[in-house]
Amino acid sequence: MRLSALRRAGVLGLNRRNARYLLPANDRARYPLVDDKLATKRLCSEAGIPVPRLYAVAREHHEVRDLPERLAGRGSFVLKPARGAMGNGIVVVAGREGEGFLRSGGRALGVDEFRYHAAGIISGLYSLAGHLDAAMVEQRLEVHPLLAELAEGGVPDVRVIVFRGVPVMAMTRLPTRRSSGRANLHQGALGAGIDLATGRIHHAVLGRSPATTHPDTGRRVVGAAIPAFERVLQIAVGATDRTGLGYVGADVVIDPELGPVILELNARPGLAIQLANRAGLRPRLEAVERLGDVELPLEERVRIGRELAALCGSDGAA
């Protein structure tokens, strides 16, 4: 598509996103609240917003030695960097094998290999800008039964873009064999745009190509309903409110036991969500700007976001 056509469709580019929205709306002093997953977890927990349970944290290399022992009795969990990005450095443990572990997918993970990976996390191997990090171990969330047939080998999440406290666009990222069970578009997950008004998937892409079915399961994706979608939007907005940031991507997992749970927040959310929705962000962001700075209850802002999405239509045009 030519640049003029992209502009007519309201597609938001990287430079405009940064200059028009990120810089004015996001105070850099507040970035640590979302760049550090431990800080995000504390923030949400204090507000009563559900997050995965935290099992253990190692901030110093000497703490890595007894990390496996601190997880005794845990059959499954996730080891991840507190300041990681794009899913890098995450290890999903699905079970035990002797003294060691079994990764999601069945590959064995020895205790020494587990410690080595945790040490790499602390050294900043996966962190933003390579800074020293913390290795955190948290609850492994499960796939909601209604989404199980739409994913392969992992847990889908829902990314919601929240601008000035209003949800403006959402997609679900569905793991595939190519993504090794990770809900990350950069690693090959299927991106499926969600109609905010109905809570149903209305368009999907694999890479840059349109898709209607999951590449591994063959199940039809377009038309599928996202469970507890209203609650997904509510906790995405509630968590964003706590950060004091104006432009945020909230990642939510719908666990069958816990319901929607905040997985992490992102102050620099990517723009592929537009491709997944076949719609531009600009008309929706501009519509929110026209609302001004009127303070409204959370539920009202969620309602407004859903109505604005319906008014803008699937092509993004207001």
Kindly report the number of other CB atoms within 10 A of residue 97's CB atom.
Answer: 13
Residues of the chain with CATH 3.30.470.20: 3-49+143-312
List, in sequence order, every residue forming a beta bridge with 213; answer none if it has no partner: 220
Q: How far apart are CA 129 and CA 213, in angstroms?
A: 37
Query: What whole-number distance in Å separates Cα of residue 290 and Cα of residue 128?
Result: 34
User: What is the side-by-side order of every strand in the sheet holding 108-109?
Assistant: 54-58, 135-138, 77-81, 91-97, 100-103, 108-109
pLDDT of residue 187: 86
3-state secondary structure of 263: strand
Token readout for 276 is 């997944």
Q: What is the DSSP string of 90-125?
A: -EEEEEEETTEEEETTS-EE-HHHHHHHHHHHHTTS
Calculate the CA 242 to chain-centre distance. 17
Please give the CATH architecture assigned to the domain spanning 3-49+143-312: 2-Layer Sandwich (3.30)
- pLDDT score for 132: 93
DSSP letter string, 269-289: --SHHHHHHTS-SHHHHHHHH
Which token pair is 108?
A: 């064995």
pLDDT in tens, the chain (318 residues): 555 566 777 999 999 999 999 999 999 999 999 999 999 999 999 999 999 999 999 999 999 999 999 999 899 999 999 999 878 899 999 999 888 999 977 889 999 999 999 999 999 999 987 889 999 999 999 999 999 989 988 899 999 999 999 999 999 999 998 988 888 898 899 999 999 999 999 999 999 899 999 999 999 999 999 999 999 999 999 999 999 999 999 999 999 999 999 999 999 999 999 999 999 999 999 999 999 887 899 999 999 999 999 888 654 444
The reported pLDDT for the residue numbered 316 is 42
